[in-house]
Structure 1
Amino acid sequence: WQNRPLNQRYCALFLDALFVKVRRDTVGKEAVYIVLGITPEGHREILGFYVGGVESSNGWKEILQDLRNRGVQEVLLGVFDGLTGLEEAFRSIFPKADVQRCVIHKVRSTMNKARKKDQAELSIDLKKVYTSSTYEEAEEVFEMVKKKWKKNYSRELASWEEDLPVLLTFLGYPKEVQQYIYTTNLIERTNKEVRKRLKTMNSLPNIEAAE
């Protein structure tokens, strides 16, 4: 299954990892890298999953290269979270593709650094940015958000400002598909089902069992 030939062209690749407990002498958490692709006809399919080690950009690069070796030649868009080095790894294999950083992951990360009393209001303000109709409108809204919150969250807002181009890539796509590509939710639903099935297991005896 992992070696089957793949389509040459995909509209989008969604990248996400979940973690499972695997025994190798001792029990430890290991990453399961999963790639979901959408064909030009709108068909969704899991292109591959790879078990082992700690999630890293180098691990993703090997996986993306494997997909290319199996036939994937063109990708319009890559959708993933903000793992350090992942964007560079993706672009090294698919240099012509657009990149969409998962907005929901970014919001969660920001909320984790915000004071509890500010979280609800800050979340609403940030939502106004990524629910704008155009990139230009989103930039204007962000300037207002930055002016309002920069005193307390200058570092977090500087990170948003730096990432804004890859957080709002989806606004350049047709409105009919924007709701599907601004986040990794499509693949996270799959991961949620896997976690549900693994919940009753304390650990898996080996890598083969995990696969």
Structure 2
Amino acid sequence: MDGLKGFPQAIEAAFPKTQVQTCIVHLLRHSMSFASYKDRKAVATALKAVYTAVDAEQAEAALTEFEDTDLARRYPAIAPSWRRAWNEVIPFLDYPPEVRRLIYTTNSIEALNSKIRRAVRTRGHFPSDEAAAKLIYLALNATSVEWKRSVREWHAVKSQLAIMFEERFPMA
């Protein structure tokens, strides 16, 4: 998720087994909005220790360490923004590095949603739900042709997800 109010509750209501996590890239961008341009690289480097930590305990220690730095004192809104999102950050830390590289951002999902919105907006209205579903299908089909890159290390990611979500991730 990227911080939209009520969205985690809506997703969990529709999909009760969903593990909600925040988009690390959005959280970093939000943090950078508080920092001056000259300090952004240092802030990003300091926060990298949080989201690349081995587990939640080390991430907590890295965030606490960041809070004790001059950067955190200079930009007092950054650490609290991570603390507020902490319950949605720590699920990310449960995944192995191969999976983290795939799920740390929602940008690909947002790009796909943008393509669907554009297709729907140009049409305006639909005579039926079936007509809307067909248009969305066609938009997805056209978009999939544009996908050139495959997911890096997909076999390793797929294996990790199959282990973690055995009952919900069929390998067949």
- In which range does the TM-score fall when normalised by the shorter chain? 0.5 to 0.7
Contact 2:2–2:22 (8 Å) recurs in 1 = yes
Structure 2 equivalent of residue 168 of structure 1 = 90
Q: CA deviation at 1:95?
A: 3.0
Contact 1:180–1:186 (8 Å) recurs in 2 = no
Contact 1:100–1:181 (8 Å) recurs in 2 = no
Query: Which deviates more, 169-178 or 130-139?
Result: 169-178
Structure 1 equivalent of residue 142 of structure 2 = none
Matched, 1:156 2:78: yes
Report the Cα distance in structure 1 between the residues aligned to 2:123 and 2:18, rounded to whole angstroms. 39
Unpaired runs of at least 5, structure 2: 127-131, 137-172
With the length of structure 1 as denominator, give the TM-score of the two structures.
0.51
Structure 2 equivalent of residue 29 of structure 1 = none
Q: CA deviation at 1:102?
A: 0.3
Q: 1 or 2, which has the higher helix percentage?
A: 2
With the length of structure 2 as denominator, give the TM-score of the two structures.
0.61
Shift in CA distance, 207/104, structure 1 to aligned 2, threshold 3 Å = farther
Q: CA deviation at 1:143?
A: 0.8
Structure 1 equivalent of residue 10 of structure 2 = 89
Report the Cα distance in structure 2 between the residues aligned to 1:144 and 1:188, rounded to whole angstroms. 33
Contact 2:20–2:91 (8 Å) recurs in 1 = yes
3-state secondary structure, aligned to 1:101:
coil
* Residue number among 132, 149, 173 corresponding to 2:53 in the alignment: 132
Report the Cα distance in structure 1 between the residues aligned to 2:79 and 2:44, rounded to whole angstroms. 12
1:50-199, aligned counterparts within 5 Å? 80-148=1-69, 149-190=71-112, 194=115
- Residue identity matched to 1:206: G
1:28-59 per-position Cα deviation (integer Å, ceiling 9, x unaligned) = xxxxxxxxxxxxxxxxxxxxxxxxxxxxxxxx
- Residue identity matched to 1:121: A
Unpaired runs of at least 5, structure 1: 1-79
Identity %: 34
Structure 2 equivalent of residue 30 of structure 1 = none
1:126-156 per-position Cα deviation (integer Å, ceiling 9, x unaligned) = 1121011221111111111111133222223
Contact 2:56–2:93 (8 Å) recurs in 1 = yes
Report the Cα distance in structure 2 between the residues aligned to 1:117 and 1:158, rounded to whole angstroms. 21
Shift in CA distance, 97/206, structure 1 to aligned 2, threshold 3 Å = closer
Q: Which has the higher contact order (CA 8 A, sep 6+)?
A: 1
Q: 1 or 2, which has the higher strand percentage?
A: 1
Contact 2:24–2:105 (8 Å) recurs in 1 = yes
